[in-house]
Every structure is written in structure tokens, then in C-alpha cells.
Amino acid sequence: MQFACSIAAAALLSLPMPVAAQEAEASGDEAGASIVVTGDRFGGRTTTDSPAPVDSIGREQLQQSGRVDLIQMLKVEVPSFNSPRPLGSGVGDYLVPPSLRGLGPGEVLVLVNGKRRHTSSDLNSSNGIGRGDISVDFNAIPSFALARAEVLRDGASAQYGSDAISGVINLILDRSVGTRAQVTAGTTTKGDGEFWEASVSSGIAVAEGGVFRLTASIQDRNGTDRSRPDTRQQYFGTNAAGRPVAISGNYGSGVGLTPSNGTLDPREATIDRRVFRFGDQPSTNKQIFFNFAAPASDDVEAYAFGGYNRLDGDIEYFFRRAGQNETLRAFYPDGYRPQLDSRVENLSAAIGLRGDDIVGFGWDVSSVYGVSTQDLFYDNSVNVSLGRESPRRFYRLGSDFYQWTNNLDLTRQIDVGDGAPLNLAFGAEYREETYRLFPGDIDGFRSGGVPILDGPAAGTAAPIGAQPGPSSGPDDRASLSRASVAVYGELQKELFDRLLLQGAIRHEHYSDFGDTTNYKAAARLKLFGGLAARASYNTAFRAPALAQSGYNASNTLILNGQQAIVRVAAVDSPAARLAGATDLKPERSRNLSAGLTFERSGFTATLDAYRIDLDDRIAISSTFQDARLTNFLAANGQAGFGAISYLTNAVDTTTEGVDLVMHYRHRFGDGSSFSGTLAGNYNKTRFDRIAGTPAPLAAIGIATPLFDLTQQLRFSDSLPRDKVVLDLNYTRGPFTLSVTNTRYGEVSTVALTNRTPAQIAALTPGYDVRLVPVGAAGNADIVQTFGADIITDIELGWQATRALRLSAGAQNLFDVYPDENIASTVASVAAGTNGADNAGTQPYNAIAPYGFNGRSVFVRAALSF
């Protein structure tokens, strides 16, 4: 019914703006196919003429329905592109990991104006999707600065180098003349999550045919909260002798659902139990970007582009109750929520020259420099082991990543006498990268030796380090650098006015892991009546990110429904080596894609099937948490490790899938117009190899595999296997009505591990689960599946004057929420277990592909002149 209502609303989705060159706009054909340059060094082709699948999405289409975050824009518009809404992952709540064709954030390459973009300096060490990976910070690039985004859905390492396994996202900056400004404001209909955005972009003519465009943007967001009251016991109870007793950890303690420990403190009746924040975190993001191109002589053009952004955010961690040992009650008598004060910055600059004729070759020489930095501070925190002398603010850690990329590209058309030239391209690249990790405040790491001051545990050892987890210590410092040199070539030829052949090869040498050679072959054959077939085969690779080798820090994660501090140890650290870590190897893939394209009378369609065999995928290992390991490490000089993980080449996978994109547009006799796009993706990942238990751990009796079920499902089931987008768009006079319907398929995760049959019987009724047996006593891990949902966005626009456009609309029009986590209940507590909802406070799961904020509404005013 909901989907039918969306269709009945009859909406128009603005089509990708046609483009004729890397940074210039031009007209498209009648069917709406756009000229794309990604994956083609020879002037570009339409999306249907390309031998590999490419999407082109114009700025207006990206910003539809009030969206202001670039990564969320791409998620709605590109069917094979997904991203989670992380929660409690530290700065990863802002550095949202992207996924293309079912693979991870590190397997997609991001370009700006065709040049490699630097990644963030952050390693995702959260307990969610993208764990152990690095991605580009999409917050750094204002969508208002773009002409369009192109998404190549094919392996392209032979053309672009490392990371281009699942595809390439090329963000192409606007180089038009004129000024436009935009203001957007919105809120959820729950009354939180207020956001506003203000952007201005102005382009001025420079010399003859040149342009300088400057864009500035600011986005401000308040947080959302979908938590539920914490009904557990908050304060110490008292026994018959009037002495304090420990708080109960059970669901409902203090309000009659399950017993409390001791006689309740009177404050239990008056405390505000909305003590958690569970939703999007607040942030302010400031961006500035420029794009310049102008003639340097009659046949040479100079160009430059780049920008800066700073994102400031306040992330709130789990609440520490007054009766927990992690609470210094002299500071926080009613409990507290530690915060992470985050500052993330990006700076980039590119310069270059290009021309049409050096001894018959077109040429392009460029140099691109980028840096990403982050500084993280714990606020509203405490190191209980320092007692009343503890600071409440700690520097948690800092990191930065520098990348300098230099390219020389040459192209030439060679006349071979058949009317279709042989296109030749070759070039070279030199790149340097540096990653540094800085330790935090020593007071956030060290033991002050002060015991717990009060309560039933008074006099015992206090938790060591800042809350929610120790800051990085002096030994966590890292500094890694490397250089790479590449040479590459590409050929393209059309035969018989029907068959297009393309081939590419690239050889690259890395200073830290050696040499790699990759190639690509692609073809497109015109068949009949607007129908064509295309196919490609390529090998691709991904060099391990420097942060994946050098990251070394402790993080607070939720394991089996409980908080735990887990050490992610650098692969070359003594503790990681003792636990079985080895040097990282590059990922390598073999990609096969084949499909059909059709174009006729306002209708275009593409259908592409693909298979990606990916070996030696890099990920963080299972979390090894066992007293035998702690004792083993301590006996070998590595004390203090309660739980440890490390980066590893854990698995080989095969991902198979299919992409479908259909588009139709029609102009009516009264001047109104309609367009519709139906696009979908289905993919499935299976494991060809899963590494077993590391030998040093097996030798001390630990059986946990290197990559356990929880980690496996992050690769195979935590992102939707299927996604369908239906965009409808109708324009009549000054009015435009747009509706975007996105169906996200089901997702799954390990909800709870090693539960007994009695616990499973109490927990699982009413939920979609499957059980994975563990051990011989009938125990099992519980895998929960969250069902598919359709999310509808709507926008009504009015072109009030030639310069002024007003619009309003809603995201998630029908206020859809995902299925809830397995809940804690009286029955489950009686059986000895809570659910997967953190004792009832967190009803939704962070893997929900569209979040769990519900409906939001917005208004927007745009001015152009």
C-alpha cells in the first residue's frame, strides 16, 4: 500500500545532467544518456555506449529531497552503493563507510576531477560495518561544488591503481560562470535532529574561456535520540545491616520487573531514566572548495582545485550508572555519559597543465597533495584510579595521513585508414604516503593507584584509564611512510562501426610490499534495434593502508551485549605477534562483468551481471578474550591485555551480483514532462577461505577462529543484498513534484553468542532468527535478520521567479522504522541473559541501512543569478 501511494504521488526525479568533458556540461541525447569520462581517457562516451557500467548523477538530482550529506545522496541515487549509519563507533560515526557492489569502503576508489583523493587518517575500529577499514571522508567535499558524480561499477586498478576493486567514484567539480546560493532547514517529526545548511557558489570568467569557482558551505546538525528509559538499578542498595550492596545489572531492576539488589535508594524514584543517547550524533561541518581552469597559452590550459573542511562533533558514549565501578561518585553522584569531542580536518590542493599537442600527443601533468587529520578528546570523563585528582578531559589520540600524487598522462589518436582511429594512452605516476598516530594524555592511560573510594567495592582496585576506554599510551605512537611508482598504458579501437575494444595494463612498485601488474580487457558490440552487449575482465588490487599496519589503540566495544575494552594491536607489535599476527599482504581480485544496453525513443536500459573473486581481504580479526591468552601474554612480557584483535588477511570471498538501470522520459503536448528511473542491485558474498585459529592461540587451547561468525556476517549480510530505487518526476509550469522510493533488502547480524537452549527459548519468539550451533551442549549463536523496508522521500518545488526556487518535502515520508533488536524481558533475565538491546535501552540496530530516525521534514530556498 505504501509503495502504491508513492507511485500515485507521481514524482519526477531530475535526470543526470549531460556532460561533454571532464568538467564541462553539454546536452545529452533524447533518451537521457549522459556523457561520462570515468573509465575512458579518450573524451568520454554516453552511459549506454560505455563498455563498462557507469552512473552519472547531476548535482540537482543528488540534492533532491533536502539531502545535505554527499554520502547519503549517493546512497539514494546509486543502487549498488550502500552505507550504514554507525553508532557508538567514535569518529567513525561521522566518517561513514561506503560500500559499492557489496564490498568494503577500502575497495572503492574516489577521485575528484579524475585525480586520486586522499583517504581519512582514521582506521574504523568500531564493532560495526567497515571495521578494520579506511575510507575517504565525504564530509570534506561540498555537494554544492559539484557538476555531477560519476560512479564506475567495475574494477579499474589497471587504469587508476590501488583500491579500484569494486569501482570508482569520480566527483566532478562545477566550472560554470554565475552565482547560486541555497539554504535548507529541517527536523524530524519526533522534534529532534534539527539541521540546517547554507551554501553559496560563485564562478567568474577568467581570461578567455577560463573560470574560477569558489564554493563555501556549512552544515549544522543536532543529535537524535531513539533510546528508551534505563529501568535498571542506578544506585547502590542497602542490606539489612544498612551497608551498601552492588547494583543489579538486570533489565527492569528498581521498577518491579526483576528484583533489585538490596533496599532501593530513594533517588531511584526521582532520577530521569532517559540517560542514554541513541541516534545520530551532533556535528558542525564547514567546507570551502575551489575550481580553476584558464588558458595558459593558445594550446595549453592551466588548472587547479582543492579545498578545506573542518568537522566538529560531540559523540556521547554509553551511560555509566552511579553504582558502577567506572563512576567516581565524588564527581558524578548520579552517573554520567562520557563524550568524545572530535575534530576532523581535510586539506587538499591540485595543480596541473594540459594541452593537445606535444609531438602529436595530448598531455596532462598534475600534482595533487592531500592531508587528513583528526584530534579526539574525552570530555565529561574520569580516570577512577586517579581518584579526586583525575582530570575530566583527556586527549584520547590524534592521527594524520599525507598523500602526494603526481601524474603524467599522454593520449594520441592514430589514423589507421578505416575512419576509426586507434586511441593510445600511457602515463606514469609517483605517489608518497605518510601515516602518523599520536599518543594521548598519560593521565588517560596510566594507573594512579587510588582504589575505589566508596560503595561495596571500596578499597579494591579501580578501573584504569579514562572512560569510556584508555587513551593511547606512549608506546602507541606510529609513523609509517611509503612510496609507489607506476607505469600504465591503454588502447581503444572501434571495428566495423560496431565493435569497441578496450585494453589497459598497469605495473606498480610499492616500497613496502613490492610489485603488482594488473590488466583490463573490455568490449562493446552493437547488436540490433538499439541493443548492445558489453563485457569486461580485469584484475585489481588494493595495497594495505598504512593505518591498517600502524594503528594501535584500545576501544570500548559491545561484545555479547556487554561493554568491553578491546585492544587493536599493530601487526608488528609484540603482543600481536604473540597472538599470531603476520605482515599484511595486498588484496587481489579478478573481476568479470557482462551485460546488455538498450536505447530507443526516450527509453534507456542497462543490465550488468558481475563476479568479483577477492583474495586476502583485510579485516580486523576476531576479538580474542580469554584468561589463558591474558596469562600467556603477561608471561611473555605483555601484561594488561584483557582482549586483543589485530589486522589480518583473513578470508577469500566471491561476490556475485546484477545491476539493472532503466530510464524513461516523455514531454507532453502541454509542455509538462515526466521521467522515471527504476534501478536495482542484487549481490551475494560467499567465503572461499576462512583462516583458522592462529597457531599460538591453538597451542594454549583457544579455539576461536581468526575470523569468527560475527566478523563474517559483516562481510556477507550486514549490508542489503538487494536494493531497488524508483524515482518518479513530474514538471508542469513552475512546479515540480519528485518522489524517490528506495527498497532496502534484509540485513543480518550476530545478536548474541553461546546462548543455552533455555535462554534461546526465552529470547527468540517473535523474531526472525537462525541458530548456529557452538559446542556440544546445545548452545548456539543467535543470528537476527531485520526485514526489508521501503523508504519514500518527496519534494515539491516551485520556481517562484527566474532566480528564486522554493521547495519543501519529507524524507521517510511514511515514518518507517526497522525491526527491533531481540529484547530483554523478565523471562530472559530469569533464564540468565539479557537481550541484544542493552538492557532495554537500545531498541534498534546500527546496521539498519536507512537509520532509525523516522520521518524528517525540510524547507529549502535556492537563488541563482
- Please give the single-letter amino acid code of residue 289: F
- Please give the single-letter amino acid code of residue 677: T
Predicted TM-score of the model (pTM): 0.91
> Hey, is 336 helix, strand or coil?
strand
Does residue 8 have a pLDDT over 60?
Answer: no
Q: Which parts of 357-506 fold into alpha helices (H)? A: none
pLDDT for 474 equals 83
pLDDT for 25 equals 37
**Whole-angstrom distance, CA of residue 425 vs CA of residue 520:** 14
Q: Which parts of 618-681 fold into alpha helices (H)? A: 627-635
**Whole-angstrom distance, CA of residue 58 vs CA of residue 14:** 8
Q: What's the farthest any 2 CA atoms get from each other in the chain?
A: 103
For 333, residues 6+ apart whose C-beta sits below 8 A from its C-beta are 322
pLDDT for 12 equals 28
The stretch 94-113 carries a mean pLDDT of 91
Q: How confident is the model at residue 5 (pLDDT cuts 50, 70, 90)?
A: very low
> Hey, is 107 helix, strand or coil?
helix
For 402, residues 6+ apart whose C-beta sits below 8 A from its C-beta are 118, 369, 370, 371, 432, 433, 434, 435
Does residue 564 have a pLDDT over 80?
Answer: no
Tell me which DSSP letter residue 452 carries.
P
Does residue 15 have a pLDDT over 70?
Answer: no
**Whole-angstrom distance, CA of residue 554 vs CA of residue 440:** 11
Rounded to the nearest 10°, the torsion over CA 623, 628, 630, 634 is: -150
pLDDT tens digits for 809-827? 999 999 999 999 999 999 9
Q: Is the dihedral of CA 844, 846, 849, 851 positive or negative?
A: positive
For 543, residues 6+ apart whose C-beta sits below 8 A from its C-beta are 162, 163, 484, 510, 513, 586
pLDDT for 556 equals 53
pLDDT for 63 equals 85
Does residue 555 have a pLDDT over 90?
Answer: no
pLDDT tens digits for 297-318? 989 999 999 999 999 999 998 8
Antiparallel, parallel or unpaired: β 167-173 and 108-112: parallel
Does residue 45 have a pLDDT over 90?
Answer: no
> Hey, is 753 helix, strand or coil?
strand
| Backbone phi and psi for residue 349, each to the nearest 5 degrees, phi listed first | -150, 135
Please tell me the least confidently modeled range out of 124-133, 156-165, 653-662: 124-133
With cell 579499474, the residue in question is 156
pLDDT for 215 equals 98
pLDDT tens digits for 443-485? 998 999 999 999 999 999 999 899 998 888 888 889 999 999 9
Q: Is the CB of residue 566 less than 8 Å from the CB of residue 559?
A: yes
Q: Is the CB of residue 570 less than 8 Å from the CB of residue 554?
A: no
Helix (H) or strand (E) holding 463: none
**Whole-angstrom distance, CA of residue 512 vs CA of residue 817:** 47
**Whole-angstrom distance, CA of residue 414 vs CA of residue 491:** 11
Does residue 44 have a pLDDT over 80?
Answer: no
- Please give the single-letter amino acid code of residue 420: A
Q: Is the CB of residue 680 less than 8 Å from the CB of residue 663?
A: no
Q: Is the CB of residue 683 less than 8 Å from the CB of residue 721?
A: yes
> Hey, is 813 helix, strand or coil?
coil
Q: Is the CB of residue 485 less than 8 Å from the CB of residue 580?
A: no
Residues paired with residue 564 on neighbouring β-strands, in sequence order: 557
Cis bond upstream, residue 391 (ω within 30): no
Residues paired with residue 782 on neighbouring β-strands, in sequence order: 752, 771
Percent of the chain with pLDDT over 70: 94
Percent of the chain with pLDDT over 90: 74
Question: How many residues are there in the chain?
Answer: 865
Does residue 192 have a pLDDT over 60?
Answer: yes
**Whole-angstrom distance, CA of residue 354 vs CA of residue 365:** 6
N-to-C CA span, the chain: 42
Q: Is the CB of residue 723 less than 8 Å from the CB of residue 79?
A: yes
Antiparallel, parallel or unpaired: β 108-112 and 210-221: unpaired
Look up residue 747 and give its three cell numbers. Answer: 540485513
**Whole-angstrom distance, CA of residue 742 vs CA of residue 723:** 7
Q: How confident is the model at residue 78 (pLDDT cuts 50, 70, 90)?
A: confident
Q: How confident is the model at residue 195 (pLDDT cuts 50, 70, 90)?
A: very high
**Domain 2-230+274-864: which CATH number of 2.30.30.20, 3.90.226.10, 3.40.190.10, 2.40.170.20:** 2.40.170.20
User: Strand locations in 13-85, DSSP E?
Assistant: 19-21, 24-25, 35-36, 45-46, 54-58, 81-82
- Cα 849-852-858 angle, rounded to 5 deg: 100
Look up residue 241 and give its three cell numbers. Answer: 545491616
DSSP 181-194: EEEEEEEETTS---
Q: Is the CB of residue 711 less than 8 Å from the CB of residue 620?
A: yes
pLDDT for 643 equals 85
Q: What does pLDDT average to over the chain?
A: 90
CA 545 to mean position of chain CA atoms: 16
Q: Is the CB of residue 121 less than 8 Å from the CB of residue 399?
A: yes
Q: How confident is the model at residue 406 (pLDDT cuts 50, 70, 90)?
A: very high
| Backbone phi and psi for residue 323, each to the nearest 5 degrees, phi listed first | -90, 5
What number of other Cβ atoms are within 10 A of residue 601's Cβ?
A: 10
Q: How confident is the model at residue 88 (pLDDT cuts 50, 70, 90)?
A: low
pLDDT tens digits for 607-650? 999 999 999 999 999 889 888 998 999 899 888 788 888 999 99
pLDDT tens digits for 218-258? 999 999 999 999 999 999 999 999 999 999 988 888 888 88
Q: How confident is the model at residue 128 (pLDDT cuts 50, 70, 90)?
A: confident
Where is pLDDT greater, at 372 or 32? 372
The stretch 737-744 carries a mean pLDDT of 95
